[in-house]
Amino acid sequence: MSILGDKLRDAFNQMQVDDEGVPTEITTVTTQEKQMQKLSASEAAFDYVMQTPGCTATQAGRVLARDGYNESTISALIYQMVKQGMIRKDEKTKRVYAAQNAYTPIKTNQRTTKRKYARKEKAGLAALPRAMPTAEKSTPHPTMLTADYVMKNISLAEAKALFDQLNGFFG
């Protein structure tokens, strides 16, 4: 028999007949439909804990990682479910058990949502008006430098440097 004949025979063998003898449609599931049927990570985590009571979050993460879920995401979701009371955890053994019969979505934490902060009014020293920096009052430069002006307006380090230079000139 030909390949086409083999395919037709297989199709007839797979065909199902309802109570009245009318053939029912054979449904084939495509890979895209399979991906759409995949549970969310939180649903998968809850279902795994429900089906295998007494597992640890790490074990659940490792098993569900084989199905394409992120291992650390599964562990984090289980701990969130523990905080919300959907799953209970034995603190000594670190094993988790479902605390309810069906999955309910995890409530979002208010701290993780974006907030618009109002600008705070300044208080204390920050509320005081800032004084504008004023230029330092300097003595006017004379047109001719005098020894008296130099002695009044230079620091000790500058005087020492001046002495060394003058000593070099006059020896």
- CA–CA separation, 136 vs 70, rounded Å? 65
Cβ(45)–Cβ(59) below 8 Å: no
pLDDT at 107 over 90: no
What's the pTM value of the predicted model, to 2 decimals? 0.45
86, 89, 94, 96: CA torsion to nearest 10: -50
Average pLDDT estimate for 105-115? 67
107, 110, 111, 112: CA torsion to nearest 10: 60
Q: pLDDT tens across 28-39, in order?
A: 555 545 545 678
Residue, of 61 and 11, whose pLDDT is higher: 61
pLDDT at 134: 65
By percentage, how much of the chain surpasses pLDDT 90?
25
Residue, of 54 and 10, whose pLDDT is higher: 54
Average pLDDT estimate for 100-117? 73
Q: pLDDT tens across 53-71, in order?
A: 999 999 999 999 998 899 9
Q: Which domains does the chain have, with CATH numbers?
A: 40-104 (1.10.10)
Where does the pLDDT of residue 88 fall: very low under 50, low under 70, confident under 90, or very high at 90 and above? very high
Helix (H) or strand (E) holding 88: strand 87-89
